[in-house]
Amino acid sequence: MKKELEHPLLHSINDFNEAKQVIAGGVNSPVRAFKNVGGVPPFIFKGRGFSLFDVDGNTYVDFVQSWGPLLFGHADSEIEERVISTLQRGLSFGAPTELETTLAKKLVISYEGVEKVRLVSSGTEATMSAIRLARAFSGKDDILKFEGCYHGHSDSLLVSAGSGCATFGHPSSLGVPRDFSKHTLVARYNDLDSVRACFKEGNIGGVIIEPIAGNMGLVPAKLEFLQGLQKICQQNGAVLIFDEVMSGFRASARGSQGLHYLVPDLVTFGKVIGGGLPLACFGGRAEIMAMLAPVGGVYQAGTLSGNPVAVAAGIVALEKIKRDPKLFERLEVLAHQFCEGLKQAANSCGFALQTCVRGSMFGFFFTDKEVQNFEDARQSDTALYATFHQKMLQKGVYLPASAFETSFICTPMDASIIEACVGKAQESFYEIQNQI
Ligand SMILES: Cc1ncc(COP(=O)(O)O)c(C=O)c1O
């Protein structure tokens, strides 16, 4: 690894300017624009294993891994081969294939409580459809989400906490009607009292939560909190949805169930289950899933849903996970190695750091206080994160372009590359401390 970027980002700057002419903001998903951390996003030419290669000729160790999907790193040869052999038979049929059933069976086997699934193309679709099902099954319009959890960008879920003790949310995006957001209540993560307050106020038919939150940085829910939440749902006839789009097949081979073994009514998966291609799903209890069209009255559909190429990639990813029982243990050791190294490096330069690991997921906050919810996360030093991000990027380490994202280990990584990245972190902290 070189000390500084070998090549200035001249082509990337050019590409970004050109993209801005024809793509809104120059990117197809906001975080890619590096607005929260400053600088120009390197434009990517290719990926191999744990490495990203930009158009300027620089190489990075990639801890983003396409925001989670690439458990086996970039261009995994087995996934690549299956994708190629599948696409040679046709790209899309809009008709059932055996592949879809194969993948569905793997999902049903992997997660307790999933009796039926429906495949879709994005996590946003999965959570949006799960919410619709929850409303239909419970016969109630209000839903509950948690501040700091992200479930994609559908109207009902782009809602953040109201001010003060208000429990009804307000739109977190322009264009979301208040008439929609008034049906979404927002509670504090890891806080059962705030859940109870919401249930008093609204007629809640569905609760959606990331059992291991990865969208306010990495903040796992406490076991007692999830148990309490499930009980409240049961007492009030509300459908409990675990959003495991990120944590599924990432925190463990059984998502959050590998850690606490709670069985929700519905669950959503995405990211890893598509092996790097657009694929997600929602699933759960058969009696709830039976409400979906064509059997039931809840409408949900998709031209490219269950696309054979994406499904084939997902099948290989799940086969590879099944074949390697020690996989997550190994990746977790590497995640701990990086986090411990990072913490020591930060502390040695006078910066407080909190770290968290769950399987192949890890996160860190510049704060001396344990982070249990979004309020805590927001109090961390995000400006320091931005500076650290830029320093690491300069040294060829690609971290998420926001303090509120999770980082990922992939299977091609090993202890020596982690050690090298810890070395880069040490250099970065030293430079920040000494304003170099
Ligand atoms: C927990 C969670 N749910 C839902 C989504 C939305 O998924 P997608 O970006 O595929 O629409 C994300 C995306 O990051 C996520 O992390």
CA 30 / ligand 1 centre spacing (Å): 13
Q: Give the residue-averaged pLDDT of 398-423.
A: 98
Q: Which pLDDT tens digit goes with each residue over 309-349? A: 999 999 999 999 999 999 999 999 999 999 999 999 999 99
Assess whether the C-beta atom of 396 lies below 6 angstroms from ligand 1. Answer: no
CA 348 / ligand 1 centre spacing (Å): 36
- Judged against a pLDDT cut of 50, whether residue 2 lies above it is answered with no
Assess whether the C-beta atom of 156 lies below 6 angstroms from ligand 1. Answer: no
Q: Give the residue-averaged pLDDT of 64-76.
A: 98
CA 351 / ligand 1 centre spacing (Å): 31
**In this structure, which residue's CA is closest to atom 7 in ligand 1?**
123
- Judged against a pLDDT cut of 70, whether residue 165 lies above it is answered with no
Quote the tokens at residue 434: 């000494």
Residues with catalytic roles: 150, 243, 271
CA 11 / ligand 1 centre spacing (Å): 30
Q: Ligand 1: which of 124, 189, 268 to mutate, most ligand atoms within 8 Å of CB?
A: 124
Assess whether the C-beta atom of 402 lies below 6 angstroms from ligand 1. Answer: no
Q: How confident is the model at residue 436 (pLDDT cuts 50, 70, 90)?
A: confident
What pLDDT score was predicted for residue 6?
83
Q: Report in angstroms the alpha-carbon separations of 315 from 256, 340, 350.
A: 20, 34, 46
CB atoms within 10 A of CB 71: 26
CA 244 / ligand 1 centre spacing (Å): 9
Q: Ligand 1: which of 155, 215, 268, 406 to mutate, most ligand atoms within 8 Å of CB?
A: 215
Burial of 426: CB neighbours in 10 Å, binned 0-12, 13-18, 19+: middle
% of the chain surpassing 70 pLDDT: 98
**In this structure, which residue's CA is closest to atom 16 in ligand 1?**
246
> Nearest 5°: phi and psi at 344?
-60, -45
Assess whether the C-beta atom of 418 lies below 6 angstroms from ligand 1. Answer: no
SS3 258: helix
Assess whether the C-beta atom of 145 lies below 6 angstroms from ligand 1. Answer: no
- Atom number of ligand 1 nearest to Cα 215: 16
The sign one gets for the Cα dihedral 317, 301, 266, 214 is positive
Q: Which is more confidently placed, 168 or 111?
A: 111
Q: Give the residue-averaged pLDDT of 156-160.
A: 92
Assess whether the C-beta atom of 270 lies below 6 angstroms from ligand 1. Answer: yes
- Atom number of ligand 1 nearest to Cα 280: 10
CA 68 / ligand 1 centre spacing (Å): 10
What pLDDT score was predicted for residue 5?
83
What dihedral do alpha carbons 143, 255, 95, 312 form, nearest 10°? 150
CA 123 / ligand 1 centre spacing (Å): 5
Assess whether the C-beta atom of 255 lies below 6 angstroms from ligand 1. Answer: no
Q: For residue 380, what is the enclosing H or E element?
A: none
Pairing of strands 116-120, 280-284: antiparallel
% of the chain surpassing 90 pLDDT: 95
- Atom number of ligand 1 nearest to Cα 278: 10
- Judged against a pLDDT cut of 90, whether residue 211 lies above it is answered with yes
Assess whether the C-beta atom of 158 lies below 6 angstroms from ligand 1. Answer: no
Cα 408 to Cα 64: distance, rounded to the nearest angstrom: 6
Cα 202 to Cα 198: distance, rounded to the nearest angstrom: 6
What pLDDT score was predicted for residue 164?
59
Nearest to 158 by CA among 208, 84, 111, 120: 208
Q: Which pLDDT tens digit goes with each residue over 237-282? A: 999 999 999 999 999 999 999 998 899 999 999 999 999 999 999 9
126: Cα within 13 Å, side-chain hemisphere? 32
What pLDDT score was predicted for residue 265?
98
Cα 231 to Cα 234: distance, rounded to the nearest angstrom: 5
Assess whether the C-beta atom of 151 lies below 6 angstroms from ligand 1. Answer: yes
Who contacts 74 (Cβ-Cβ below 8 Å, separation ≥6)? 46, 47, 48, 49, 50, 51, 52, 62, 65
Assess whether the C-beta atom of 122 lies below 6 angstroms from ligand 1. Answer: yes
- Atom number of ligand 1 nearest to Cα 29: 9
Domains of the chain, with CATH numbers?
10-63+325-434 (3.90.1150.10), 77-323 (3.40.640.10)
CA 255 / ligand 1 centre spacing (Å): 15
Q: Report in angstroms the alpha-carbon separations of 335 from 142, 194, 426.
A: 38, 32, 17
What pLDDT score was predicted for residue 1?
45
Cα 34 to Cα 56: distance, rounded to the nearest angstrom: 17
What pLDDT score was predicted for residue 168?
81
Q: Give the residue-averaged pLDDT of 109-119.
A: 98
SS3 398: strand
Nearest to 36 by CA among 351, 300, 380: 380
Which string of DSSP letters, residue by residue, matches 18-36?
A: HHHHHSGGGSSSGGGG-TT
What pLDDT score was predicted for residue 169?
84
Assess whether the C-beta atom of 244 lies below 6 angstroms from ligand 1. Answer: no
**In this structure, which residue's CA is closest to atom 13 in ligand 1?**
152
The pLDDT mean for the chain works out to 96
Assess whether the C-beta atom of 127 lies below 6 angstroms from ligand 1. Answer: yes
Q: Give the residue-averaged pLDDT of 17-24.
A: 98
SS3 116: strand
